Chain A
């Protein structure tokens, strides 16, 4: 046997897997066998390391060298040069014009990050309970069970300032206290892994990358509230998360960490996974509970709150994955340590999923109170390409858009809500100046409308009506009073809906009206989409001064509406044009451009039609 001298940590988060991490692993295994160094090298699949944009990524220890954007073709060189001869391959490291970032600590992406919930993600093997124990896993629950009472446990979480990370931001200790005070012989603890916001993937990454941490967090919460049974509610679209959590549960059983009299205390606990069918509304706690009970996933009015009457009508605490993930570290490092991060009533760190027109898309964890500017431009690396920042959607379809004026706002639960967005689960969708905000609002609203369970009228009919108005506006048929109608309707839906879905679904519409009212007005009054996104409110033209008459656009036009000659240059027949954009793409001299507003030909034609209609 040889002493293993190299640990290769291959990120197998979903981002890297779809970029080909498994193929890289196969090639690595075959290549180190060819070079006869199999015994010296340990290949470990880890959870998400964060920089998904750079995937597939790999960390090589002991040096901690970070490789990115690997391809199967790079592997032989990597194995020969680095693994065999000890010369790290600079070409495959992250680099920009001036610098090469050799190790993980050098990467600017990680520098403002503070990893608490994600501490082990991308550092340990999620399939191994031993690796979790090696990084102090199950120490917290051991200590709590042997040294603390449930009341002490709740008190410590109160002092830490931890609030729910799933969206609402309800103080965790208070939720626990309510359940612990409810008198019943059976109580339950549910881990809400029904992450449904488009663009948010922190819960999935946590469950995939560090499943034992979530299980330990669940045990802590269960002990504090007096629960003896836990459910992981995970959507079926997350098969790897389900597999890893199930495996963690069975490993914990083998080690006696689940079952009766854990750590020789009177605490008995067991957990199981329940899979959801992927309905967005099942992230709402009462709908989630109904789904676990085998009923249709629809919310019920509160009260009774789940803390008093939850699953199987017993007192139940529902905690988000990330909330639970914070617990083991809070108990190991102390409430003061956690409280020292963040500001005001938002303490600790928050995981954000950065997506959209940003350089470093991926998963990041930063202290609360960091500004949006730091999050987007320092951690996120700024806008992709040369585009300009326009807006950022926080909190997914339930959240709202913030603008360039809010970049220096510290991120806390309160400031975001005040500005019309929300923390939500932490999805951050960054948009550049080619996004039409009316269209963006329509996109998010469509999602909420389709996910509405239909139980209450305001949400079922109100959202559909909101959507119809938006559809009218983007197709050029907006009328005066539409904006006021949207505002009135949006506010009514928020006030009268049964659950959080309806209460927050109009947020994208209301926040875009608040900050981009001029864009709505342009669509309605001037029949023009300023960002040239809404097809009925924009058109293509060819600049005859630039056109070289090559005829490429005419040949690529699917409806043959471009005509001309080398001498006369080419023009688009606006009436026939379907606005597919082919001509813009193929033009070798950038003579084709988009123009806001309806073309005069189409306008004239529609006027003629109306006149003709009158005579008919």
Chain B
């Protein structure tokens, strides 16, 4: 270790692994994992999110789950929560659509209007 700069580089890399334990993130993806959600493939949708996040090495994203949301006919349902912005709820998802949401919404910051069910403040 020769400089502080070197230490800070290691730190930045290492902080990623600890992100989960701090509550600093930009997007929070909440997958509805109620019985109907799971029956409609919510786990595959979630896996697809996780896969895509890892593949693109995205940061500041937290994947979480919740129970039944009451929108059984639209399952799998996913909320994208961003601080200071309305919560976007997507429905009728599948792994392919999940991937598209990551790319368009979380990376390029364009909401995928085709899949939006509701938006809420």
Identify the A interface with B (CB < 8 A): 1-7, 9, 40, 42, 61-64, 84-87, 123-124, 130-131, 133-136, 138-139, 142-143, 146, 255-257, 262-264
Is A264 within 8 A of B3, CB to CB?
yes
Q: Complex formed: what's the CA distance from A123 to B20 in Å?
A: 11
Identify the B interface with A (CB < 8 A): 1-4, 7, 10-11, 13-15, 17-18, 20-21, 23, 25, 31, 33-34, 38, 43, 46-47, 49-51, 53-55, 58, 61-67
Is B51 within 8 A of A62, CB to CB?
no
Is A263 within 8 A of B4, CB to CB?
yes
Question: A residues within 8 A CB of B21?
Answer: 7, 9, 61-62, 64, 123
Closest Cβ neighbor of B43 among chain A residues: A84
A261 vs chain B, min Cβ distance (A): 8
Q: Is the interface of B mostly helix, strand, loop or mixed?
A: helix
Most buried by B among A5, A6, A135: A5
| A61 interface neighbour in B20, B46, B58, Cβ under 8 Å | B20
Is B7 within 8 A of A133, CB to CB?
yes
List 29 A–B pairs whose Cβ atoms lie within 8 Å, in order of A's numbering: A1-B51, A1-B54, A2-B47, A2-B50, A3-B49, A3-B51, A3-B58, A3-B63, A5-B62, A61-B21, A62-B23, A62-B25, A84-B33, A84-B43, A85-B34, A85-B67, A86-B33, A124-B18, A130-B13, A130-B14, A130-B17, A131-B17, A134-B17, A136-B11, A139-B4, A142-B7, A143-B4, A256-B2, A263-B1
B54 vs chain A, min Cβ distance (A): 4
Is B55 within 8 A of A134, CB to CB?
no
Question: A residues within 8 A CB of B34?
Answer: 85
Is B11 within 8 A of A133, CB to CB?
yes
Closest Cβ neighbor of B48 among chain A residues: A2
Known: A134-B15, A135-B18. 6 other contacts (CB 8 A): A6-B20, A7-B21, A62-B23, A86-B65, A87-B33, A134-B11
- Beyond A86-B31, A86-B33, is A62–B62 a contact (Cβ under 8 Å)? yes
A39 vs chain B, min Cβ distance (A): 8
Q: Complex formed: what's the CA distance from A143 to B20 in Å?
A: 28
B17 vs chain A, min Cβ distance (A): 7
Closest Cβ neighbor of B64 among chain A residues: A62
Q: Complex formed: what's the CA distance from A107 to B15 in Å?
A: 26
Question: A residues within 8 A CB of B47?
Answer: 2, 40
Q: Complex formed: what's the CA distance from A131 to B43 in Å?
A: 30
| A86 interface neighbour in B1, B62, B64, Cβ under 8 Å | B64
B81 vs chain A, min Cβ distance (A): 12
B116 vs chain A, min Cβ distance (A): 22
Closest Cβ neighbor of A256 among chain B residues: B1
Q: Complex formed: what's the CA distance from A123 to B62 in Å?
A: 18
Question: B residues within 8 A CB of A5?
Answer: 20, 46, 50, 62-64
Question: B residues within 8 A CB of A257?
Answer: 1
| A63 interface neighbour in B10, B33, B58, B64, Cβ under 8 Å | B64
Q: Complex formed: what's the CA distance from A206 to B10 in Å?
A: 24
Is B67 within 8 A of A133, CB to CB?
no
Q: Complex formed: what's the CA distance from A61 to B51 in Å?
A: 19
Q: Complex formed: what's the CA distance from A143 to B4 in Å?
A: 7
Is B53 within 8 A of A87, CB to CB?
no
B70 vs chain A, min Cβ distance (A): 15
| A87 interface neighbour in B1, B2, B63, B67, Cβ under 8 Å | B67
Is A134 within 8 A of B18, CB to CB?
yes
Is A142 within 8 A of B4, CB to CB?
yes
Is B50 within 8 A of A40, CB to CB?
yes
Question: A residues within 8 A CB of B11?
Answer: 133-134, 136, 139
Q: Complex formed: what's the CA distance from A40 to B63 in Å?
A: 10
Is B10 within 8 A of A86, CB to CB?
no
Q: Complex formed: what's the CA distance from A130 to B15 in Å?
A: 8
Q: Complex formed: what's the CA distance from A9 to B66 in Å?
A: 21
Closest Cβ neighbor of B29 among chain A residues: A5
| A133 interface neighbour in B14, B38, B64, Cβ under 8 Å | B14
Question: A residues within 8 A CB of B33?
Answer: 84-87
Q: Complex formed: what's the CA distance from A86 to B65 in Å?
A: 5
Closest Cβ neighbor of A40 among chain B residues: B50
A605 vs chain B, min Cβ distance (A): 69
A85 vs chain B, min Cβ distance (A): 5
B42 vs chain A, min Cβ distance (A): 9
